Amino acid sequence: MAAMSTVSIATDATDAPPLRPLPERATELLARADAPPRLVAHLRAVHDVAAQLVDWAQRHCPGLEFDAHAVLFGAATHDIGKAVHPAELSGPGARHEEAGRELLLDHGVEPGLARFAGTHASWTSPGIGTEDLLVSLADKVWKGKRVPELEDLVVARLADADGREVWEWFMELDETLTRIGEEADRRLAYQMSHPLARR
């Protein structure tokens, strides 16, 4: 069987689980970077979860100001640096963060959108925006991982946006993340069904 192309992994319809296609610009960047198949599959899974979080936030907290396009682009490209450091696809490492930001900048991506490659693992850094928190959250919960510190930061933004009590937002967000997490095994299986490297 022929290896799947970056574009087909990024955009073809899936049913187990159903995943939204990656944005066209992100797909083009991944193709130019010769991203490994598993990386493209990972980004597609995280992007889909980010889209679910964006939809939820827009419906439940219309007062929360954030750039939905930036969140979706950030989720679709946050790990692009792993095309440069492929060992970090299957092992630990943070070299992909700065490498990804530089790669995106070199391909003409605006700094405000390239930043997610560097901020997705540093949600406590000064100046982190709501968009960064949502990308970070999607990058955790796609596989069912819960990070209380990160979730508390998101809850605080929600409470600040509409004045409801923190505990109310905690309950709502917890319910949503639990529901999203129920599909984690299928997303993980989808990612693992793609090879680490191009043959």
Give the per-residue pLDDT at 198.
73
Is the bond preceding residue 17 a cis peptide, omega within 30 degrees? yes
Give the per-residue pLDDT at 43.
98
Closest by Cα among 72, 45, 87, 55 to 196: 87
> What average pLDDT does the structure give for the chain?
94
Q: Which own/partner pairs from 185-189 qualify as long-range (CB within 8 Å, at least 24 positions apart)? A: 185/144, 186/16, 186/17, 187/17, 187/19, 187/45, 187/48, 187/49, 187/142, 187/143, 188/143, 189/16
d(CA 38, CA 23): 17
Give the per-residue pLDDT at 2.
38
The string of pLDDT tens digits covering residues 102-160 is 999 999 999 999 999 998 888 888 889 999 999 999 999 999 999 999 999 999 999 99
Q: With cut-offs at 50, 70 and 90, classify the pLDDT of residue 93.
A: confident
